[in-house]
Amino acid sequence: MEGFDAAYRQHARAVFRYALKCVGRHDVAEDLAAEAFLELHRHFTSIRLDELPGWLFVVVRNRSVDYWRRKAVEQRYLGGMPPGEPNVEPAAPFDPWWLRVDELKPVHRVCLHLRYVYDLDRAEIARRLGLTETQVKGYLQYARELLRKRFAVRPE
């Protein structure tokens, strides 16, 4: 696919710079740019090359909007969660309260910790733990739902 390779070489830097401006993080910008070029590869035969790089920028913009929406939802849920159990004294200046929730399995705690303390995305968590992204997604969803039920937090 000669045309795709040429389009990638021509527009990769500009698309990455635009993604970086949209999200402000190198790792996320790399993911957004890669997703844009993956979409270009999927639809290469139906896209006019004179629409590039604008088409790629639209894909990056849409994916960055999705990224910020996910971050807002995560922050909304985290903001509604209690900082710790009322009668437990924090052991350190930063003490993630979910580490003390007995109902969570260790894998759920680790996924939560890597996601919300270290701000890693699912792909990076999966890579570090030797899991698939789907498994990480499931562990995070299950853990958040369990915590919502345990602390009776209702989504807005």
Whether 144 and 85 share a structural domain: yes
Domain tally for the chain? Answer: 2
Whether 65 and 21 share a structural domain: yes
CA-nearest of 149, 155, 147, 154 to 98 is 147
Please say which residue of 72, 90, 114 terminates a domain: 72
- Greatest Cα pair distance, the chain, in angstroms, is 65
pLDDT (tens digit per residue) in 27-61: 889 999 999 999 999 988 898 888 888 899 999 99
3-state secondary structure of 1: coil
Query: The domain that contains 61 carries what CATH number?
Result: 1.10.1740
pLDDT (tens digit per residue) in 51-107: 888 899 999 999 988 888 888 777 776 665 555 443 434 434 455 666 677 788 888
Looking at the whole model, is its pTM more than 0.75? no
- Evaluate whether residue 133 is within a structural domain: yes
Please say which residue of 19, 37, 72 terminates a domain: 72
Range of the domain at 35: 2-72
Whether 108 and 126 share a structural domain: yes
- Evaluate whether residue 126 is within a structural domain: yes
Please say which residue of 72, 94, 115 terminates a domain: 72
- Evaluate whether residue 156 is within a structural domain: no
- Evaluate whether residue 32 is within a structural domain: yes
Whether 15 and 53 share a structural domain: yes
Question: Could you tell me the two tokens for 55?
Answer: 């088409």
pLDDT (tens digit per residue) in 102-136: 788 888 888 888 888 778 889 988 988 888 999 99
Whether 29 and 53 share a structural domain: yes
